């Protein structure tokens, strides 16, 4: 079994024990049925019967913990689920699956525009819902993993540990060099002007970096990450620099 297969299997086994789901649904029978099936699959589940109750769960972290997913009915007794989803999206990054009795295209579009990750129409097979839940959680987990690190060319850049590996070996970057690398590699193909980079390197203690120093930092960074195979950073004369990634140098 390869690494990716092992990782996928590990995630399938462990994701459920780490995930808490909030169901916001005023149909008590439906909510309890979904809750039972989710719990049988290993999830921790709470039910809110209206928007006000859901807001309470989402804000009382000491009681409810960090929710991993919200299953949200579109039509609730004290408001519109779609409008509520927009409010949630303004402050929280949490996957949302809408439940609705409507299957009209405009309602589905409105749901996705409000930030829905998926949409399921009543009545539904609970096993289908379970598969949708797993799929949405995997997408979010993948996005989080990608955000924590980047593999490009012969480099692995870890944004959490502030480390860089080249051909499997750790290379030493100064904090300023790493900050410069992150700014460049997170803006692929974009020409970053010298002024933009200077502002990025000017730290909160206002330690000044001038253009000559910036040139030195870029040169040192290139010397550490580039080789005959990969250039990574291209100079745009008179303007600044552009991250070209794994294009051949």
Higher pLDDT, 142 or 132: 132
**Model pLDDT, residue 58:** 85
3-class SS of residue 109: helix
Euclidean distance between CA atoms 110 and 122, whole angstroms = 17
Strand ranges in 155-212 using DSSP code E only, listed in sequence order: 155-158, 163-166, 169-171, 191-193
**Model pLDDT, residue 109:** 79
Share of the chain above pLDDT 70, in %: 83
**Model pLDDT, residue 145:** 57
**Model pLDDT, residue 11:** 40
Instruction: Give the helix/strand (H/E) hosting 145.
Output: helix 126-148
Higher pLDDT, 178 or 199: 178
**Model pLDDT, residue 84:** 92
103 pLDDT more than 90:
no
Is residue 222 very low, low, confident or very high in pLDDT (cuts 50, 70, 90)?
A: very high
16 pLDDT more than 60:
no
Instruction: Give the helix/strand (H/E) hosting 44.
Output: strand 44-48
Higher pLDDT, 74 or 190: 74
Mean pLDDT of 121-147: 80
Burial per residue of 18-52, b for 16 or more beta-carbon CB atoms within 10 angstroms, e otherwise = ebebbbbbbeeebbeebbebbeeeebbbbbbbbbe
Q: List, for residues 34-89, the tens digit of each pLDDT value.
A: 999 999 888 889 999 999 999 988 877 434 347 889 999 998 999 989 999 988 87
Q: List, for residues 109-132, the tens digit of each pLDDT value.
A: 777 877 788 888 888 898 889 988
Is residue 190 very low, low, confident or very high in pLDDT (cuts 50, 70, 90)?
A: confident
């Amino acid at each position: 079994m390869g690494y990716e297969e092992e990782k996928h299997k590990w995630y399938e086994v462990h994701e459920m024990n780490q995930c808490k789901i909030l169901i916001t649904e005023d149909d008590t029978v439906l909510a309890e049925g979904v809750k039972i099936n989710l719990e049988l699959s290993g999830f921790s589940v709470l039910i809110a019967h209206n928007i006000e109750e859901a807001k309470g769960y989402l804000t009382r972290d000491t009681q409810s913990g960090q929710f991993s997913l919200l299953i949200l009915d579109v039509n609730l007794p004290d408001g519109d689920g779609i409008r509520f989803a927009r409010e949630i999206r303004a402050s929280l990054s949490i996957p949302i699956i809408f439940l609705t009795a409507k299957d009209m295209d405009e309602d589905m579009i409105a749901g996705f525009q409000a930030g829905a990750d998926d949409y399921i129409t009543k009545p539904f097979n609970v096993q289908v819902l379970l598969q949708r839940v797993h799929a949405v959680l995997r997408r979010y987990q993948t996005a989080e993993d990608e955000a924590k690190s980047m593999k490009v060319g012969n480099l692995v850049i870890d944004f959490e540990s502030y480390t860089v590996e080249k051909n499997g070996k750790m290379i030493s970057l100064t904090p300023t060099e790493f900050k410069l690398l992150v700014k460049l590699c997170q803006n692929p193909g974009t020409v970053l002007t010298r002024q933009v980079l200077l502002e990025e390197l000017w730290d909160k203690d206002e330690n000044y970096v001038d253009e000559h120093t910036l040139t030195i930092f870029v040169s040192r960074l290139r010397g550490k990450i580039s080789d005959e195979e990969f250039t990574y950073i291209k100079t745009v004369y008179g303007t600044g620099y552009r991250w070209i990634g794994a294009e051949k140098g």
